[in-house]
């Protein structure tokens, strides 16, 4: 990743880095060796970032190993080691988008209320436009009163076209028209906005399944991506959200939005440890440029240095 992108990621992760790295430094400063008390304090620091019990145990184990081989407690060496551990735990770089050999590539975007779906769609549309690709967004959130207008404004700013019906229309009907329009107009991407819904509401989950079916019928292989947008400030409940959306829809990826707004960005590590769903993008601000591809090594680096 280029310096500027890493710099942006660094500023996006500032709150979490402050809590994590400054926390670690505070715990180890002035200490000569790693003992049980120090490990306990480190454990507390890790947990405070919402990285979860599994990830925390993994890191504490590594610090124990570190204590065995390093006679002196060097904080820089320790931070380096933890950064490496985190990069390792995050796994290989994901395939960012499963791009269809015969366009359009269809991306269905789902999630609970207010997580950042519509903003993420505009951010994606903008990166496509900057790549010289044609994107169309489908206003399938026909439920919230201002949703269609919000998407229309953002789409215009992002350089994407839009297919919309009236407020209260059938979401699947909008999806149908958007699928047709995107094929007819030779779009490279079709991105489908959906209404925020609780993962526990069966009838609302059925509604997205219907959208999914309509799209699959019109465009072979679609949707090529089903992205769940999570709000990083939500904490551990996002694990439950991810599980339930995955069970119903078969997610292909997660977008972790609003990482800039929280010191608990460790939730991304918890998600990686607990679920086998790739994290594909991270949202680090409200502007349309504030979406970054998720690169594990860069994320680890931005978290520690
Ligand atoms: N700081 C920050 N704010 C974000 C980010 N992504 C989205 N937001 C803000 O979060 C709020 C909700 O964003 P939306 O995109 O409307 O969320 P949504 O999931 O579409 O919401 P509903 O359609 O109502 O379910 C807006 O104020 C966005 O500007 C991000 O990465 N960082
Ligand atoms: Mg929305």
Residue given tokens 């209404």 in the structure block: 195
pLDDT tens digits for range 231-245: 999 999 999 999 999
C-alpha closest to that of 238 among 220, 252, 221, 257: 257
Percentage of the residues of the chain whose pLDDT score is greater than 70: 99
Q: Which ligand is in closest contact with the Cα of 144?
A: 1
Ligand 2 centroid – CA 294 distance (Å)? 22
**pLDDT tens per residue across span 111-149:** 999 999 999 999 999 999 999 999 999 999 999 989 999
Among the atoms of ligand 1, which is closest to the Cα of residue 147?
23
**CB of 266 closer than 6 angstroms to any ligand 1 atom:** no
CA of 44 from ligand 2 middle (Å) equals: 36
Ligand in nearest proximity to the CA of 123 = 1
- Measured from the alpha carbon of residue 260, the closest ligand is 1
State which of 121, 124, 257 you would mutate to test the pocket of ligand 1, scoring each by most atoms of that ligand within 8 A of its C-beta. Answer: 257
CA atoms of 236 and 131, how far apart (whole Å): 35
How far apart, in whole angstroms, are the C-alpha atoms of residue 256 and residue 242?
11
Question: 132, 115, 136, 156: which is closest to 288 by C-alpha?
Answer: 156
C-alpha separations of 106 from 118, 151, 179, 303 in Å: 15, 17, 9, 32
- Cis upstream peptide for 104 (omega within 30°): yes
Pick the atom of ligand 1 nearest to 150's CA. Answer: 16
Q: Closest-lying ligand to the alpha carbon of 115?
A: 1
State pTM to two decimals.
0.96
Q: What is the number of the ligand 1 atom nearest to the C-alpha of 261? A: 1
Q: Is 117 in the pocket of ligand 1 (CB under 6 A)?
A: yes
56 Cβ inside 6 Å of ligand 1 = no
**In the sheet where 135-140 sits, what is the strand order?**
161-163, 135-140, 189-194, 105-110, 225-231, 253-257, 279-283, 291-293
277 class by beta-carbon count within 10 Å (0-12 exposed, 13-18 middle, 19+ buried): buried
Residue 49 has pLDDT above 80, yes or no: yes
* Reduced 3-state DSSP string for 48-112: HCCCHHHHHHHHHHHHHHHHHHCCCCCHHHHHHHHHHHHHHHHCCCCCCCCCCCCCCEEEEEECC
What pLDDT, on a 0 to 100 scale, did the predictor assign at position 4?
73
Predicted confidence (pLDDT) at residue 5 exceeds the cutoff of 80: no
Q: Which residue minimizes the CA distance to atom 27 of ligand 1?
A: 286
Asked whether the predicted pLDDT for residue 1 surpasses 60, the reply is no
DSSP string computed for 133-174: --EEEEEE--SSTTHHHHHHHHHHHHT-EEE---TT--HHHH
For ligand 1, mutation pick of 16, 142, 158, 286 (most atoms within 8 Å of CB): 286
Atom of ligand 1 nearest to the CA of 115: 19
Mutate to test the pocket of ligand 1, among 116, 140, 148, 155 (most ligand atoms within 8 A of CB): 116
Instruction: Report how far ligand 1's centroid is from the alpha carbon of 42 (Å).
Output: 33
What is the band of 71 on the pLDDT scale with cuts at 50, 70, 90?
confident
In this structure, the residue with its CA closest to atom 1 of ligand 1 is 285
Reduced to 3 DSSP states, what percent helix, strand and coil does the chain have, rounded to the nearest 5? 55, 15, 30
Tens digits of residue pLDDT in 250-290: 999 999 999 999 999 999 999 999 999 999 999 999 999 99
- Ligand 2: distance of its center to the CA of 253 in Å? 18
- Which among 132, 139, 119, 252 has a CA at the least distance from the CA of 188? 132
């Amino acid at each position: 990743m280029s310096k500027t992108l890493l710099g942006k990621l660094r500023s996006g992760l500032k709150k979490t880095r402050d809590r994590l790295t400054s926390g670690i430094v505070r715990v180890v400063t002035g200490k000569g060796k790693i003992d049980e008390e120090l490990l306990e304090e480190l454990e507390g620091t890790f947990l405070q970032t919402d990285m979860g019990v599994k990830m925390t145990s993994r890191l504490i184990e590594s610090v124990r190993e570190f204590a065995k081989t390093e006679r002196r407690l060097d904080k820089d060496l320790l931070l380096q080691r933890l950064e490496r551990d985190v990069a390792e735990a995050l796994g290989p770089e994901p395939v960012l988008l499963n791009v269809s050999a015969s366009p359009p590539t269809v991306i269905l975007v789902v999630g609970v209320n207010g997580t950042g779906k519509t903003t993420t769609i505009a951010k994606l549309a903008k990166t496509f436009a900057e790549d010289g690709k044609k994107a169309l967004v489908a206003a399938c959130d026909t439920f919230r009163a201002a949703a269609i207008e919000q998407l229309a404004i953002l789409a215009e700013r992002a350089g994407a076209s839009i297919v919309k019906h009236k407020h209260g229309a059938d979401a699947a009907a909008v999806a149908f028209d958007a699928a047709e329009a995107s094929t007819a107009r030779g779009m490279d991407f079709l991105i489908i906005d959906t209404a925020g819904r609780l993962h526990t509401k069966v009838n609302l989950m059925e509604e997205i399944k219907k959208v999914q079916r309509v799209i699959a019928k019109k465009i072979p292989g679609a949707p090529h991506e089903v992205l769940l947008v999570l709000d990083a400030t939500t904490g551990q409940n996002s694990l439950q959200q991810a599980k339930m959306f995955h069970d119903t829809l078969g997610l292909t990826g997660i977008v972790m939005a609003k990482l800039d707004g929280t010191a608990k960005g460790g939730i991304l590590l918890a998600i990686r440890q607990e679920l086998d769903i790739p994290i594909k993008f991270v949202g680090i601000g409200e502007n349309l440029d504030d979406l970054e591809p998720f690169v594990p090594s860069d994320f680890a680096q931005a978290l520690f240095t």
